[in-house]
Amino acid sequence: MKMRCAWLAAGGLHTMECPIPEYDPKAAPMSSLASPASHAPASARGGLPPWIWLCLAATWLVWGSTYLAIKYALISFPPFLQMGSRFLFAGVVLAVWMRWRGAPWPTWRQWRHALVVGALMLGGGMGGTAHAEVSVGSGLVVAFIAVVPLLIALLNLLWGIRPAPLEWLGIALGLVGVLMLTQGSGFRSSPAGLAAIAIACVCWSLGSVLSQRALPLAPGAMGFASEMVCGGLVLMGLAALSGERALWPPQPVAVAAWTYLVVFGSLVAFNAYMLLLAKAPAALASSYTFVNPVIAMLLGVWIAHETVTRFEWYAVGVVLAGVLLLLVQHGRPRR
């Protein structure tokens, strides 16, 4: 589930060759990464500067490849243990970095919010995603995750936010595509994998909406760090309850995949996306929604020799068409 949730602010790690804004304690809370960033300011008109292309490459290629990295990390690290250690380590590093730059620690209320949001998005969302990849190809998993923006639009009904007619069409089209995916050979051969990814999508979407509407975190990257720390602790608890143990000594490929997930998936790509939210048009910042499934499926077929049928490719196209309609509507002014 790669559709992240965070709170937009000017802060982050200086880990890319693009200008990371300085931390501003008065910055407004960030909108959800799992939603199409409808509140992000638009960038200036004209050609795209090189730093935007660098940030787009990070969100397209890095996030698209993390699902295959999860698959390889599973060789030595079970699902909950893998995700828990990943987010706990990345969250601590990011929190210490932001504190060193002057960001205040979250309040106790913000920590409570981070626990709920982290348990849903990382515990249920990312934990379920890794669990699904035990028996389902990484490409099909990320294709299923493309339905998250549609679920978020439906959950927003609870707060009286009704989709426009074009959004309803996108939701219906996306759900048809998901039903088509469930009939493909990949998910039909693994009911447990289908259940895991379905639960993951619901948990991720619910956590995303709650983070926007009811449970705000600390401003800036400190809020994201607190969510990773809390979600990582929840995942480590699930690993302990389920009796997971890492294969020791771990395989070098699994260690490399885990390191890639921490450094590039949780830190570099997130900060690139956060910068896009602040400086680029919303539709451009959300373009990873379309690119990630294609990248993940191509990498799965090319590197891991996963099998994707023609029918499943068609289903992915239907899902992405529905998401496209949502983004088109988000780009229009509300009346």
The tens digit of pLDDT for each residue in 43-79 reads: 444 566 888 888 888 888 898 898 889 989 999 999 9
Q: What is the pLDDT of residue 219?
A: 86
Residue 126: is its pLDDT beyond 50?
yes
Which one has a higher pLDDT value, 53 or 288? 53
Q: What is the pLDDT of residue 285?
A: 66
Three-point CA angle 120, 126, 130, nearest 5°: 140
Total domains present in the chain: 1
Looking at the domain assignment, is residue 6 inside a domain?
no
Greatest extent of the chain over all pairs of C-alpha atoms, in Å: 60
Looking at the domain assignment, is residue 68 inside a domain?
yes
Q: What is the pLDDT of residue 187?
A: 65
Query: Tokens for 14?
Result: 């200086």
Average pLDDT over residues 254-279: 83
Q: 167 — phi, psi (to 5°)?
A: -70, -40
Residue 118: is its pLDDT beyond 60?
yes
**Mean pLDDT (the chain, rounded):** 77
Q: What is the pLDDT of residue 7?
A: 33
- What percent of the chain lies above the pLDDT cut of 90? 28
Q: What is the pLDDT of residue 171?
A: 74
Looking at the domain assignment, is residue 232 inside a domain?
yes
Looking at the domain assignment, is residue 300 inside a domain?
yes
Alpha-helical runs (H) found in the chain: 50-57, 63-73, 79-100, 108-118, 127-132, 138-145, 148-155, 165-182, 185-188, 191-213, 221-241, 252-260, 269-279, 282-285, 288-302, 310-330
Query: Tokens for 152?
Result: 């978020």
Tens of pLDDT, residues 183-207: 766 666 678 888 888 899 899 889 8
Looking at the domain assignment, is residue 212 inside a domain?
yes
Q: What is the pLDDT of residue 25?
A: 42
Average pLDDT over residues 111-128: 93
Looking at the domain assignment, is residue 15 inside a domain?
no
Could you tell me the residue range of the domain that residue 244 belongs to?
Answer: 60-330
Q: Which of 111-125, 290-304, 306-320 has the highest mean pLDDT?
A: 111-125
Which one has a higher pLDDT value, 22 or 141? 141
Spatial separation of the C-alpha atoms in residues 72 and 264, rounded to whole Å: 15
4-8, 171-175, 274-278, 285-289: segment of lowest average pLDDT: 4-8
Average pLDDT over residues 112-121: 94
Q: What is the pLDDT of residue 188?
A: 63
User: Which residues make Cβ contacts (< 8 Å) with residue 6, sequence separation at least 6?
Assistant: 30, 32, 33, 217, 221, 223, 224, 227, 270, 274
Residue 106: is its pLDDT beyond 80?
yes
Spatial separation of the C-alpha atoms in residues 243 and 138, rounded to whole Å: 24
Residue 12: is its pLDDT beyond 50?
no
Residue 155: is its pLDDT beyond 70?
yes
Which one has a higher pLDDT value, 266 or 98? 98
Tens of pLDDT, residues 74-99: 999 999 999 999 999 999 999 999 99
Spatial separation of the C-alpha atoms in residues 187 and 69, rounded to whole Å: 20
Which one has a higher pLDDT value, 274 or 75? 75
Under the banding of pLDDT at 50, 70 and 90, the label for residue 30 is very low
Tens of pLDDT, residues 236-246: 999 999 999 88
Looking at the domain assignment, is residue 55 inside a domain?
no
Looking at the domain assignment, is residue 121 inside a domain?
yes
